[in-house]
Amino acid sequence: MSFYLVRKKYDAFDFDGYFASVTDRDVERVLAKNRLTETDYLALLSPKAEGHLEKMAQKAHSLTVQHFGKVVLLYTPLYLANYCVNHCVYCGFRVHSGLDRKKLSLGEVDAEAKMIAATGLKHILVLTGESREKSPVKYIRECVEVLKKYFTSISIEIYPLEEQEYHELISAGVDGLTIYQEVYDENVYAEIHPAGPKRNYRYRLEAPERACRAGSRTVNVGALLGLHEWRAEAFFTGLHADYLQSVYPAVEVSISPPRIRPYPGEYQPFVTVTDKNLVQYVLAFRLFMPRSGITISTRESAELRERLVKLGATKMSAGSCTAVGGRSNSQSTGQFEIWDSRGVAEMADMLYSQGYQPVYKDWQVV
Amino acid sequence: MADVFKIGGRELTSRLFLGTGKFSPNKLIPEVVRSSGAQVVTVALRRVDPGYEEENIASFVPGDCIMMPNTSGARNAGEAVRIARLARAAGYGDWVKIEVVTDNRYLLPDNLETIKATEILAAEGFVVLPYMSPDLAAAKRLVEAGAAAVMPLGAPIGSNRGLRTRELVRIMIEEIPLPVIVDAGIGRPSEASEAMEMGAAAVLVNTAVATAGDPVAMARAFGLAVRAGRMAYLAGPGATRQYASASSPLTGFLID
């Protein structure tokens, strides 16, 4: 059964009614358990659980150290192209945004890769907008061939592909997929994706399953926080990760909790997700899935990222740039504004100062 | 008679093997190894980065240790074999710990794939130490496949839950003609000592040391516990009883 059908079972679920029924005793009972059910996870996402954040944090910290050590994997994103045919109302890369479009030549990919590799990073995440015409799978594969010379682990964050296409990229050297559903609520999804191929909710939702079947080593899922009620979105992200881990146990499943950032456009977030909300989400997910990775990007401030190191984060970006070719050309416009602009060495120093070990390499294609 | 411990033709002075994951910072590793007295140290090849010497985990392993690359991250025999070959080609010797995991919730090993990888690598001259779920039939097949030792788990990796698989490991110690090394799950020196008292040839510890408040002191405690457990095993512990026992309650009257 696809995750789409798992998700559908909750179409009529009364989240507000459930949250209103959660008591302090319910939260304490969940905190005493070793293995949480999906209902337990939802209890930890409830407003009532906000009164138990310190206890949740203590347990989340202890589980993270037990399973991962005081260790954080560093990576950086590389934007290959910003051509996009979608109409996502919240995104700086959307079609008709007036943005200057650009696609890196293979020579430019090589130049950017060289600059990134000089920082010591071995894990890279490559991104494109959705344009099968301008950034076809063949182009991405050619870029991967260049990047393989510099990096031992290459993940993709691109438009959803067919299983065979994922297989093609994995055979070329890709080992991980990041794809955000953006919003798990199907009605809201339709509203904020008014046109373009991304309107197909189910095709995007099932993309991680296709990647797992194609042999991806890792998949990273998430909802863009701010587009809809965050507690339900956090719940479905956790359910999605749990589903993938159960059906594809050999795959390393992780999540990201990205919050919407200022971008070149008019859309205002539907809800404000506070630091406290984000922390509650990270803690609840860590207790629900103790062995799964949690990625915190430079969308968050340096101060908050430092705090999140001890609350469950296992992977962080550093030296990020959201513009195509932005490392060699500072005039390029990014997809969104990054908040934590520290380079790799500064991030490593921060981790060391907290008693954590930065990891630059945690996989190589075999 | 001297208590000789040999694997792959090498005589080992310590029965404590150490893992190098989860340390923070990595520069603690040399001191931890020295403090523990360990001679065999395992390193995940996925973390080895010869291109960045200051952060390369392999460069923290003291030069007089036997470095045993492990195949962490391998999901099948083919990947484990390729990782082992990469490690040897990179100059990390012939010892390899086979680790094939197809379950990311508990990180339990896949014995079938482990046997396949062991067969291939042993035939290529590797000294193969397979990490396995404690199962006698699988262990016998690993012996036939050419393993140099077998390494059953005491509890899931990183769980620090101790010797949960006690009975299965005990049977393996009795029946398998190779060194049985308890790998994974050992959380405290007393549990390492218990495994050694049972007759385990060695124990491999990582999380319990790496995540301890003072890893250097904990490494020393494990080193001592392993030695104590081995000494107790060799000394032959007395039988255990439920009740206090007088010397000859039934036949004492026969003594002249």
Output the six-digit token pair for A195: 């046109």
Residue B28 lies in a domain: yes
* Sequence-separated (6 or more) residues with CB below 8 Å from residue B229: B192, B193, B194, B195, B196, B197
B97 has catalytic annotation: yes
Residue B249 lies in a domain: no
Residue B46's domain comprises 11-234
Model pLDDT, residue A330: 62
pLDDT digits (tens, 9 = 90+) for A151-209: 999 999 999 999 999 999 999 999 999 999 999 999 999 998 888 898 999 999 999 99
Model pLDDT, residue B142: 97
The distance of A90 to chain B (nearest Cα, Å) reads: 35
Lowest mean pLDDT among A20-29, A163-172, A253-262, B130-139: A253-262
Over residues B206-232, the mean pLDDT reads 95
- A-chain CB neighbours of B52 within 8 Å are 120, 122, 360-361
Q: How many domains does chain B have?
A: 1
- B-chain CB neighbours of A362 within 8 Å are 46-47
Residue B255 lies in a domain: no
B interface test, pick of A357, A360, A362, A363 with most B CB neighbours within 10 Å: A357
Residue contact A245–B104, C-beta within 8 A = yes
Model pLDDT, residue A93: 78
Quick one: DSSP state of residue A155?
E
Does position B256 have pLDDT exceeding 70, yes or no? no
Confidence class for position A327, pLDDT limits 50, 70, 90? confident
Residue contact B55–A120, C-beta within 8 A = yes
Phi, psi of A349 (to 5 degrees): -60, -40
CB proximity A216 to B under 8 Å: no
Output the six-digit token pair for A224: 């863009």
Query: Could you give the angle at the alpha carbon of A70 between the alpha carbons of B26 and A72, nearest 5°?
Result: 90
Over residues B191-197, the mean pLDDT reads 96
Q: Residue A128 belongs to what H/E stretch?
A: strand A123-128
Which residue do the tokens 């012939």 mark? Answer: B94
- A174 vs A113: CA distance, rounded Å: 15
Does position B239 have pLDDT exceeding 90, yes or no? no
CB proximity A213 to B under 8 Å: no
CB proximity A12 to B under 8 Å: no
Share above pLDDT 90 across residues of chain B, in percent, rounded to a whole number:
75
Residue B48 lies in a domain: yes
CB proximity B75 to A under 8 Å: yes
Model pLDDT, residue B83: 95
Which residue do the tokens 């079938």 mark? Answer: B112
The distance of B60 to chain A (nearest Cα, Å) reads: 13
Residue B1 lies in a domain: no
Model pLDDT, residue B252: 74
pTM of the predicted protein model: 0.90
CB proximity A251 to B under 8 Å: yes
Model pLDDT, residue B166: 93
CB pairs under 8 A between A and B: 77
Q: Is the torsion defined by CA of B52, B55, B58, B62 positive or negative?
A: positive
- A309 vs B78: CA distance, rounded Å: 35
Does position B81 have pLDDT exceeding 90, yes or no? yes
Share above pLDDT 70 across residues of chain B, in percent, rounded to a whole number:
97
- B-chain CB neighbours of A250 within 8 Å are 75, 101-104
- A-chain CB neighbours of B83 within 8 Å are 366
Model pLDDT, residue A306: 92
Residue contact A366–B83, C-beta within 8 A = yes
Over residues A358-365, the mean pLDDT reads 92
CB proximity A355 to B under 8 Å: yes
The mean of the pLDDT values for chain A is 92
Beta bridge partners of A296: A316
Residue contact B75–A250, C-beta within 8 A = yes
Q: What chain B residue is nearest to A293 in terms of C-alpha separation?
A: B104
CA B200 to mean position of chain CA atoms: 9
CB proximity A70 to B under 8 Å: yes
Confidence class for position B219, pLDDT limits 50, 70, 90? very high
The distance of B183 to chain A (nearest Cα, Å) reads: 16
CB proximity B167 to A under 8 Å: no
DSSP SS3 for A95: coil
CB proximity B158 to A under 8 Å: yes
Residue B154 lies in a domain: yes
Residues 103-132 of B with CB under 8 A from A: 103-105, 107
Model pLDDT, residue A267: 74
Domain CATH for B124: 3.20.20.70
Residue contact B25–A357, C-beta within 8 A = yes
pLDDT digits (tens, 9 = 90+) for A222-262: 999 999 999 999 999 999 999 999 999 999 999 999 998 76
* Sequence-separated (6 or more) residues with CB below 8 Å from residue A326: A79, A332, A334
Residue contact B48–A65, C-beta within 8 A = no
